[in-house]
Structure 1
Amino acid sequence: MKEVLKLGYIKLTVSINKDKKTNQYELSVEEVNILSCGITKNKAIEEAIDLIEETTKDYFENLKENLSIYKMKRLYPYYLELKDCSRSKIKNMLVIA
């Protein structure tokens, strides 16, 4: 199942699946390379939001280095948009059926 998280001009594609072997939900956010899991969809979403917040903070703490690496430099528009998003704003935009 895929959902789109829209942040201004940026969109994040979110995929969520249930792993039958582990009985956990696996969530991925392709554009910023976030993978999370949880016993419920909500736990997987909360974990993804935690990771988005942490990686955004880390990205800007190491901005000079990140901008010198092509794969990291292309993530700049996403992290710039996410930098000012509150947790509740991200969560409200993310709706998984």
Structure 2
Amino acid sequence: MRLDLDNLPSEPALLRHLVRDMAAVVEHWDGEIERLKSIIRQLQRSQFGRGSEWVDPDPLALASSPAIIFFADGRRPKPSGTSACHSSLSSSLFSCL
């Protein structure tokens, strides 16, 4: 609602009521602005904060650990034999290339 500043009421009671209504609207929007700022800070922390720069200290841990594989029916696949390269993966990843 737009307020016609050229036609304000001259009665003090109406002016007080108008000011109270305006103060309530301002208070509401101040609270909304603070809520949105809080959401923005939280999103910025999650995207740009220390946690977003987390790096796994051992990126080859999955490659060097034995994998446990199961079929959908619960059976395990039969081993097809492992080469010397496959068994020594944790010691030297690139020695067999």
Task: Return the structure number with greater relative CO, CA threshold 8 A, min gap 6.
Answer: 1
Greater strand content: 1
Q: Which protein shows a greater Rg?
A: 2
TM-score normalised to structure 1 length: 0.28
TM-score normalised to structure 2 length: 0.28
Greater helix content: 2
